[in-house]
Amino acid sequence: MINLKTKFDKYIWSKNYPSDYERELFSKTQKYCRYISWIPGLKMVAVCNSLSMYATKEKWSDIDLFIITAKNRLWLVRIMVTLVFQILGVRRHWNNIAERFCLSFFIDETAEDFSSFSLENDVYLYFWIYYLKPIINKDLTYEQFIKANKPLGIDQINLHKDNKAYEIRTWKYLKFLDNCKILDFKNYLLKKIFLPKTLAHKKRLWNPEGLIVSDNILKFHDNDRRVEVRDKILIY
pLDDT band (50, 70, 90) for residue 32? very high
Task: Give the separation between CA 213 and CA 227, rounded to whole angstroms.
Answer: 20
Q: Where are the alpha helices (DSSP H) in 71-180?
A: 74-88, 123-130, 141-148
DSSP codes joined into one string, 63-84: EEEEEEE-TT-HHHHHHHHHHH
Share above pLDDT 70 across residues of the chain, in percent, rounded to a whole number: 95
What's residue 60's pLDDT? 85
> Which conformational region is residue 72 in: left (phi greater than 0), alpha (psi within -120 to 50 degrees), or beta?
left
Query: Edge-to-edge strands of the sheet including 133-137?
Result: 133-137, 42-48, 63-69, 101-108, 217-220, 211-213
Whether pLDDT at 2 is above 80: no
Q: What is the mean predicted confidence (pLDDT) over 92-115? A: 92
Give residue-wise pLDDT tens across range 137-168.
999 999 999 999 999 999 888 899 999 999 99
Q: 112, 181, 120: which is closest to 143 by C-alpha?
A: 112
What's residue 189's pLDDT? 97
- 39 and 80 in contact (C-beta within 8 Å)? yes
> Which conformational region is residue 13 in: left (phi greater than 0), alpha (psi within -120 to 50 degrees), or beta?
left
Cβ neighbors of 75 (< 8 A, separation 6 or more) are: 187, 188, 190, 191, 194, 195
CA distances, 163 to each of 36, 160, 208, 236 (Å): 21, 6, 29, 28
Give residue-wise pLDDT tens across range 54-93.
999 888 889 999 999 999 999 999 999 999 999 999 999 8
Which range marks the domain in which residue 112 is found?
2-235
- Counting the structural domains of the chain, the total is 1
What's residue 197's pLDDT? 83
The DSSP bridge partners found for residue 47 are 65, 133
> DSSP class of residue 165?
G
Cβ neighbors of 212 (< 8 A, separation 6 or more) are: 117, 218, 219
> pTM of the full predicted structure?
0.94
Report the range of poorest mean pLDDT among 24-28, 55-59, 134-138.
55-59
